[in-house]
């Protein structure tokens, strides 16, 4: 008995195709894959422009220069109001100085008739007479300048708590909106993506902008309210001081004039009684004197009347000149009051302009931020479209690089599903095969090898 050997093989054609597929896979695996570089889209021109606006007028922080200009204008307005108060105080001093009293000239000096040796005219000895005094006014009204530092005492002590509460409310609303965005992104399957990150960043920026506008508006309103209260309190204090000074001056002037009139009336009454008694005595003496003495007395009295009339005329002219001077002083004081009112109006108008400049600064900031936000959103859309184009190019180039591997895998799948066609070769040792069997086996091997070599090149 000899040994029998059985060999099971694929059909020659199928075996040749599979061997060719394996050779092609080995060759393809030895070649390097030229994969493209994956690119990331950079910032667009709109986004670069929005970032470059930081510190510019209307950009982030750009309102500071405009707001400082409004604050400086308000300070100039307050300075003009201080000048108005100084001019008003000077007008008060000028007006106070106009309430003087006419001192009068030397007046009429009554002479004494020198009678002849027969008649010895006596002389009336008047009392000390009426001594005209002068009214001594009080210290008067002293105008003070407005102190801008006094505004701090009128600031609301709970302002910062109100601002922090408003900022906390805005922050809470921003958190709620962010949670809603995250929930929407999760529902859309875009959570953690670039679009969700962009929306979160935009929401955060909007929250910060709203907090800044709210804080600036509340603090500016508090400062303006405190400034109005401080100015109102200062104006009320100045009016009360001026009214008290004027009332005290008028009361003192009235009391002094009443006292002077009473003293003058008492002196005139005493003088008239004494003069009347003296004149009666003189007339009796004159009646006893000679006729010549009467003629001389008459001439002397005529001269005295002329002197008295001249003295009265000079006194009247001096009084008129004094009153004209007083009226000029009062007119000057009124003019100074008008100038002070003009300074006050200019100061108020300048302060209002400063407040308008601060409002304009805030509006410019809001408009600038809105423009930056729109530019940033448009730039983000451009960048997203550009990134999608880069991703599509990368996917296309990668697919082209892996295309031979795809075809090789497709052909391998086809070969795996092909029906099996096997041949069995049997050999036996110990017994020599017949010539026919040897010839058939050799023919089968040669045929399979030749067919496989012929079809290797047809795989690709």
pLDDT in tens, 307-358: 888 888 888 888 888 888 888 878 887 887 888 788 788 888 888 888 887 7
User: Residue 187 burial by CB count (10 A; 0-12/13-18/19+): exposed, middle or buried?
Assistant: exposed
- Helix axes 291-401 and 194-288, enclosed angle (nearest 10): 180
End-to-end CA distance of the chain: 50
Round to whole Å and give the CA distance between 321 and 184.
94
Round to whole Å and give the CA distance between 5 and 433.
13
Instruction: Give the pLDDT band of residue 429 (cuts 50, 70, 90).
Output: low
Largest Cα separation within the chain, whole Å, is 219
The answer to whether residue 451 scores a pLDDT higher than 60 is no
Contact 155, 222 (CB under 8 A): yes
Contact 89, 141 (CB under 8 A): yes
Q: Would you state the pLDDT for residue 442?
A: 43
Q: Look-up: residue for tokens 């005290």?
A: 248
Instruction: Give the pLDDT band of residue 260 (cuts 50, 70, 90).
Output: confident
Domain that holds residue 223: 46-103+158-401
Q: Would you state the pLDDT for residue 147?
A: 78
286: in domain:
yes
Instruction: Report which of 429, 447, 459, 344 is spatially closest to residue 2, judged by C-alpha positions.
Output: 429
Contact 129, 213 (CB under 8 A): no
**Are 283 and 411 in a shared domain?**
no
* Domain's final residue, options 357, 377, 401: 401
The answer to whether residue 106 scores a pLDDT higher than 70 is no
User: Could you give the 3-state DSSP secondary structure of residue 293?
Assistant: helix
110: in domain:
no
Instruction: Give the pLDDT band of residue 217 (cuts 50, 70, 90).
Output: very high
**Are 344 and 432 in a shared domain?**
no
Q: Would you state the pLDDT for residue 105?
A: 61
Higher pLDDT, 304 or 448: 304
Count of domains forming the chain: 2
Distance, C-alpha 28 to centroid of its chain: 71
Round to whole Å and give the CA distance between 235 and 383.
61
Helix (H) / strand (E) element for 425: namely strand 422-428
Contact 337, 91 (CB under 8 A): yes
371: in domain:
yes
**DSSP at 457:** G
**Are 97 and 24 in a shared domain?**
no
**Are 328 and 422 in a shared domain?**
no
Which range has the worst mean pLDDT, 58-62, 85-89, 313-317, 332-336? 58-62
The answer to whether residue 435 scores a pLDDT higher than 70 is no
pLDDT digit string (tens) for 403-412?
888 887 887 8
pLDDT digit string (tens) for 391-402?
998 889 888 888
User: Residue 388 burial by CB count (10 A; 0-12/13-18/19+): exposed, middle or buried?
Assistant: exposed
- Joined together, the tokens standing for residue 142 give 């002293």
Round to whole Å and give the CA distance between 167 and 214.
8
- Joined together, the tokens standing for residue 321 give 């000149």
> What is the average per-residue pLDDT within 108-118?
68
* Domain's final residue, options 381, 401, 421: 401
128: in domain:
no
Give the residues across from 9 on adjacent strands: 423
39: in domain:
no
Mean pLDDT (the chain) is: 77
pLDDT digit string (tens) for 65-74?
667 777 788 7
Full-model pTM: 0.31
User: Could you give the 3-state DSSP secondary structure of residue 339?
Assistant: helix
pLDDT digit string (tens) for 154-169?
888 888 888 888 888 9
pLDDT digit string (tens) for 263-278?
888 888 878 887 888 8
Higher pLDDT, 390 or 13: 390
**Are 200 and 274 in a shared domain?**
yes
Percentage of the chain beyond pLDDT 90 is: 3
Higher pLDDT, 72 or 440: 72
> What is the average per-residue pLDDT within 230-240?
88
**Are 179 and 258 in a shared domain?**
yes
**Are 393 and 418 in a shared domain?**
no
pLDDT digit string (tens) for 278-316?
888 888 877 777 777 777 778 888 888 888 888 888 888
**DSSP at 290:** -
**Are 422 and 374 in a shared domain?**
no
Higher pLDDT, 211 or 343: 211
Round to whole Å and give the CA distance between 249 and 252.
5
The backbone torsions φ and ψ at residue 4, rounded to the nearest 5 degrees and listed phi first, read: -105, 130
Helix (H) / strand (E) element for 4: namely strand 4-10
Contact 4, 428 (CB under 8 A): yes
CB atoms within 10 A of CB 335: 12
**Are 378 and 303 in a shared domain?**
yes
The backbone torsions φ and ψ at residue 422, rounded to the nearest 5 degrees and listed phi first, read: -110, 155
Which range has the worst mean pLDDT, 163-172, 222-231, 302-311, 445-454? 445-454
The answer to whether residue 436 scores a pLDDT higher than 50 is no
Higher pLDDT, 126 or 348: 348
Which range has the worst mean pLDDT, 115-129, 239-253, 322-336? 115-129
CB atoms within 10 A of CB 372: 24
119: in domain:
no
The answer to whether residue 378 scores a pLDDT higher than 50 is yes
**Are 286 and 427 in a shared domain?**
no
CA atoms within 13 A on the CB side of 288: 9
Q: Look-up: residue for tokens 């093989």?
A: 9
Spatial CB neighbours of 11, under 8 Å, sequence gap ≥ 6: 421, 422, 423
pLDDT digit string (tens) for 174-209?
899 888 878 887 887 777 777 778 888 888 889 899
348: in domain:
yes
CB atoms within 10 A of CB 17: 22
370: in domain:
yes
Spatial CB neighbours of 181, under 8 Å, sequence gap ≥ 6: 196, 199, 200, 203
- Joined together, the tokens standing for residue 324 give 């004209």
- Joined together, the tokens standing for residue 452 give 């496989």
User: Could you give the 3-state DSSP secondary structure of residue 137?
Assistant: coil
Q: Would you state the pLDDT for residue 214?
A: 92
**Are 296 and 233 in a shared domain?**
yes
**Are 326 and 428 in a shared domain?**
no
């Amino acid at each position: 008995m000899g040994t029998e050997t059985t060999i099971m093989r694929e059909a020659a054609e199928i075996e040749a195709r599979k061997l060719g597929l394996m050779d092609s896979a080995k060759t393809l695996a030895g070649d390097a894959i030229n994969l493209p570089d994956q690119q990331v889209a950079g910032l667009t021109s709109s986004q670069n422009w929005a970032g470059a606006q930081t510190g510019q007028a209307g950009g982030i922080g750009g309102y500071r220069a405009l707001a400082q200009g409004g604050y400086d204008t308000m300070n100039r307005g307050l300075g003009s109001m201080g000048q108005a108060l100084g001019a008003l105080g000077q007008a008060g001093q000028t007006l106070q100085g106009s309430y003087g009293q006419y001192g009068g000239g030397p007046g009429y000096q009554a002479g004494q008739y020198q009678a002849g040796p027969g008649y010895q005219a006596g002389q009336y000895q008047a009392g000390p007479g009426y001594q005209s005094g002068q009214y001594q006014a009080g210290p008067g009204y002293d105008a003070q300048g407005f102190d801008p530092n006094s505004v701090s005492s009128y600031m609301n002590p709970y302002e910062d708590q109100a601002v922090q509460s408003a900022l906390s409310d805005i922050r809470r609303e921003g958190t709620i909106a962010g949670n809603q965005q995250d929930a929407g992104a999760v529902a859309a399957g875009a959570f953690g993506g670039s679009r969700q990150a962009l929306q979160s960043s935009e929401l955060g920026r909007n929250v910060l902008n709203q907090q800044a506008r709210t804080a600036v508006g509340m603090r500016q309103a508090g400062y303006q309210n405190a400034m109005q209260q401080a100015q109102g309190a200062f104006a009320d204090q100045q009016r009360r001081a001026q009214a008290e000074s004027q009332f005290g001056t008028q009361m003192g002037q009235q009391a002094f004039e009443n006292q002077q009139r009473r003293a003058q009336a008492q002196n005139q009454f005493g003088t008239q009684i004494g003069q009347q008694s003296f004149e009666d005595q003189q007339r009796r003496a004159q009646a006893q004197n000679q006729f010549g003495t009467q003629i001389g007395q008459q001439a002397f009295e005529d001269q005295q009347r002329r002197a008295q009339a001249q003295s009265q005329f000079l006194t009247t002219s001096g009084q008129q000149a004094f009153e004209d001077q007083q009226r000029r002083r009062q007119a000057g004081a009124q003019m100074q009051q008008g100038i002070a009112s003009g300074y006050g109006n200019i100061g108020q108008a300048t302060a209002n302009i400063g407040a308008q400049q601060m409002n304009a600064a805030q509006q410019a900031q809001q408009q600038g931020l809105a423009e930056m936000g729109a530019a940033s959103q448009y730039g983000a859309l451009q960048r997203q479209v550009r990134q999608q184009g880069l991703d599509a190019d990368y996917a296309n180039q990668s697919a082209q690089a892996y295309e031979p591997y795809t075809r090789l895998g497709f052909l391998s799948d086809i070969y795996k599903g092909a029906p099996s066609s096997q041949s069995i070769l049997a050999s036996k040792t110990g017994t020599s095969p017949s010539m026919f069997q040897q010839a058939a086996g050799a023919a089968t091997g040669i045929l399979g090898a030749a067919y496989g070599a012929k079809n290797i090149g047809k795989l690709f």
